[in-house]
Amino acid sequence: MLELSTPIKFVKLVGERIAVELSKRGVETVEDLLYHLPFRYEDRLNPVPMSELRAGTMASVIGEVRGTVLLQTRSMPLFEMTVGQGLSTVKCMWFRGTYLRDKFHVGQMVALYGKLEPSRSSAGKFKMIQPQFEVLPSGGGAEAEFSMLEVGRIVPVYESLGGTTAWGAKLGSKWLRRVIWALFEELEKQQVSESASQAETLPGAMRARLSFPERLKALKAVHFPEAGTPMAELVSATTPGHRRLIFEEFFYLELGLELKRRRMREREGTAFVTNVKVREAIKQVLPFHPTAAQKRVLGEIASDMRRPQPMRRLLQGDVGSGKTIVAMQAALVAIENGYQTALMAPTEILATQHYLSARKLLGDVLSQRTGRPYRVTLLTGSLDEATKREARGRIFRGETDLAIGTHALIEDKVDFENLGLVIVDEQHRFGVQQRFRLMKKPGALDPDVLVMTATPIPRTLALTLYGDLDASVIDELPPGRTPIVTRRTTEERAEDVWGFVRKQVEAGRQAYIVYPVIEGPKHDQPELDFPQDVEPDAGEASLKAQADSSATLRNDNKKTAAGKKTRVSKAGSAKGGSVKARGTKSSIKTEKLFEPKRALRAATDMYEELRMGPLSGLRLGLLHGRLSADDKDVTMRRFQRGDLDVLIATTVIEVGVDVPNASVMVIEHAERFGLAQMHQLRGRVGRGAAKSFCVLMTGGTVSEQAEARLDAMVRTQNGFELAELDLQQRGPGEFFGTRQAGMPEFRVANLIRDRALLELAKTEATRFASEPDPAVSSEEKQAVWARLKMQWQRKYGLVEA
């Protein structure tokens, strides 16, 4: 009997050899194959008549082969085919198409999919370059058996699974349709037996309430949509079948997160007190009146800290919203209760800056509890061994109230005497997993954890990645800030920019000039923190835009062999005869090879150039990741003190750096930076009362995507808005810089496309976990929990804390 867990080799038409091929693509079981969903559909029941085709669109066309010819052009063989419908014809061309010579015969019916371009030679006619094609069955012979899968219906189109059958056929759409169709026939025969109910993953009552089909029915409808299913719904993955499958994935994720939240609430943590003395301690260090938002957020944190369960709170606040002081206040609550606080920052520069400002803030005041000064210790990786040992010793012996550092702080060697609170600044720069690998002495209570981020997290991501945290938002900037004036310009106008910088310096201000790389051409080492979205050339770009807007269902979240596919896509597809207008990622990466190398203006070179030329006479500093910690430190301090006018840097200054007198941020090669990065960089200015400026300078070709980023930067300073766009451009995986472990992978769902269902899933998950629903049987409940357990570990890889 076939079950969802049955190994794929037992499936009809598969067998041992193909199973090996499939397993390379992550398809091991019946279930895996059923979840290899079509990424688009062709309506071969109501095909668009050729006479109604429109230029510039992606179209699927059915027609009769009228003629073929293999042309020998000067550069390469070109295969041309004319396909007709009544009086209308479309010409198709394949470069290096020799292999297609014997593929087509006049009179055959073919289905084509590709971009329609107006024909240059005959007005009103169209051509298709390298379309995907399928020869349609003509009736009779072995092919006839499956003809109902290929014509006269909405036909699913699959991403190929690579490999070939024993008789040399590709494991492509045609093959997949047959295997999956046969699989459903087999499963349907068993429907009466238990396997159908075993395949179900959502309680019947919930399904009924939400009008979702059963799982197998949903899968079937997604693979082989019934006649009459609106194409628009198929394209947007909003058929009832799609919705059900997407919901299910989200439901299990959200249920797991809900469970985690509940477990955390059952844990024992420290119940800090916030009596008059503690409040007095907090008040005496405040250098300014907190904003209403800061007060509210501190209130939320304090009430978490009072509870005897460990705090798990995410503090979001746009750059410059004043998170640091809130963190310091939280630290004081712990310290005044006699506990240690650890503050972790993602870079040495930021850790050092926090250390200095903590010293400044706490320097002159005495602890209300001990009557002694607060003791602050810095621990970063680049300190020399002796200093580190010293610091660790003080932390271990409880001679430190506040330990500030980089990830060196969470290394195993560091033991706290009495850790009560952990604060993680700029959390998004750490791995998702890292946040809970925080030190806990055996037997000790769980420390409270406050994670802070200036990357506003779009709600969809917050619901998934951080769904197990409570969230606070500082949604207000400190008073007296004027909006930062943001302008775009090009390298050619650099002189004007330097003139402007000079003027600002003369007016007593300071400036940053940021470059994407440290050194020029030879050592081209981007210090960008995300893989470059290298831009395709113009032709490819429009094709890509087309592919995107035709809204194929290809899921960016899918990782299955995406890398491998990318590599073969150029060469391999030429042989296979079907060049796909791919989704985003693959085509872009492939293009990297063809991008002409262009020298980037680099920090060290420009430091010299500016110093000798346009900015001579000003006091310039250079800061980048390859300097020693000491050098970085010295330069940063000089800039902070105002001993330097201009800081020429890489993105090392991206996060956290706080020099209120700096009023100009120049970003060179702005086309190369991600949105989050530019937003963070811009956030380095506009921190004081003076009017501030951000100049986005481009050099070289600016792609469509980069154009959109730059526009957005000029248009808005709202971090949430920018984050949304960033998420859309890069997809959830890359959103935080690197693809990190712990990022859930979905088979059907897409965080950006399906956010409404995510919200629904969250509501339902909370409901399922908290309200005993009499309509749900206890077996169903148990089945859900069992499935959750399996999935949580296997699929989402979210490690239990």
Q: Which residues bind ligand ADP (CB under 6 A)?
A: 288-291, 294, 317, 319-325, 454, 478, 658, 660, 687
- CA 228 from chain centre, in angstroms, equals 35
- Is 583 a residue that touches Mg ion (CB under 5 A)? no
Q: Whole-number minimum distance, CB 323 to Mg ion, in Å?
A: 5
Contact 628, 382 (CB under 8 A): yes
Report whether 796 contacts 254 (CB < 8 A): no
**3-state DSSP call for residue 739?**
coil
Q: How many helices (H) and strands (E) does the chain have?
A: 26, 21
Report the 3 state secondary structure along 66-118: EEEEEEECCCCEEEEEEEEECCEEEEEEEECHHHHCCCCCCCCEEEEEEEEEE
Inter-CA distances, 465 with 245, 250, 356, 424, Å: 20, 12, 32, 16
Backbone angles phi, psi at 556, to 5 degrees: -65, -20
Binding-site partner at residue 24 among ligand ADP, Mg ion, none, CB < 5 to 8 Å by type: none
* CB of residue 736 to ligand ADP, shortest distance in Å: 17
Which of ligand ADP, Mg ion, none lies near 447, with the C-beta cut-off 5 to 8 A by kind?
Answer: none
Query: DSSP of 118-184, one letter per residue?
Result: E-SSSTT-EEEES-EEEEPP-SSTGGGGGHHHHSSSEEEE-----SB-TTS-BSSHHHHHHHHHHHH
Q: Where are the beta strands (DSSP E) in 354-465?
A: 376-379, 402-405, 419-424, 448-453
CA–CA separation, 245 vs 231, rounded Å?
Answer: 18
* HSE-up of residue 202 (Cα within 13 Å, Cβ side): 27
Q: Nearer to ligand ADP by C-beta: 667 or 685?
A: 685
Task: Tell me how far apart the alpha carbons of residues 324 and 535 are, in angstroms, rounded to a whole number.
Answer: 37
Q: Cβ closer to Mg ion: 100 or 319?
A: 319
Q: Which of 162, 656, 674, 686 binds Mg ion (CB under 5 A)?
A: 656
**Which two tokens mark 715?**
């248009």
Instruction: Identify which of residues 324 and 705 has a Cβ nearer to ligand ADP in the complex.
Output: 324
321 contacts which partner out of ligand ADP, Mg ion, none, CB within 5 to 8 A by kind?
ligand ADP
Closer to ligand ADP by CB, 14 or 325: give it: 325
Candidates 172-180, 522-530, 543-551, 653-661; binding stretch for Mg ion (CB under 5 A) = 653-661
Cα–Cα dist 475/471, whole Å: 12
Tell me whether residue 378 or residue 494 sits nearer to ligand ADP (CB atom): 378
Residue among 320 and 536 whose Cβ is closer to Mg ion: 320
Nearer to ligand ADP, 455 or 729 (CB): 455
Q: Which residue is nearest to Mg ion (CB)?
A: 656
How many CB atoms within 10 Å of residue 668? 26
Find the angle CA(721)-CA(723)-CA(728) to the nearest 5 degrees: 100
606 to 645: interface string for Mg ion, x by CB under 5 A: ----------------------------------------
Q: Return the residue nearest ligand ADP (CB atom).
A: 322
| Nearest-approach distance from CB 662 to Mg ion, in angstroms | 15
Residue 325 binds: one of ligand ADP, Mg ion, none (C-beta under 5 to 8 A by kind): ligand ADP
- Residue closer to ligand ADP, measured from CB, 220 or 684: 684
Tokens of 642: 């105002």
Subset of 278-317 contacting Mg ion (CB under 5 A): none
Segment near Mg ion (CB under 5 A); pick from 70-78, 650-658, 734-742, 751-759? 650-658
The entry of ligand ADP, Mg ion, none that residue 256 binds, CB within 5 to 8 Å by partner kind: none
* 281 vs 350, beta carbon nearer ligand ADP: 350
Q: Is 160 in contact with 41 (CB distance < 8 Å)?
A: no
Closer Cβ to ligand ADP, 552 or 680, answer by number: 680
Backbone angles phi, psi at 741, to 5 degrees: -60, 145
719 binds Mg ion (CB under 5 A): no
Query: Which two structure tokens, joined as six digits, stand for 277?
Result: 């003395």
When the beta carbons of 237 and 350 are compared against Mg ion, the nearer one is 350
CB of 378 to Mg ion, least distance (A): 17
Q: Which stretch binds Mg ion (CB under 5 A): 71-79, 189-197, 258-266, 656-664?
A: 656-664
- Which residue stretch of 413-421, 440-448, 598-606, 652-660 sits at the interface with Mg ion (rule: CB under 5 A)? 652-660
Which of ligand ADP, Mg ion, none is residue 526 near (CB under 5 to 8 Å by kind)?
A: none
Nearest distance, CB of residue 324 and Mg ion, angstroms? 5
Partner interacting with residue 322 (select from ligand ADP, Mg ion, none; CB below 5-8 Å by kind):
ligand ADP
Under the rule (CB under 5 A), what is the footprint of Mg ion? 656
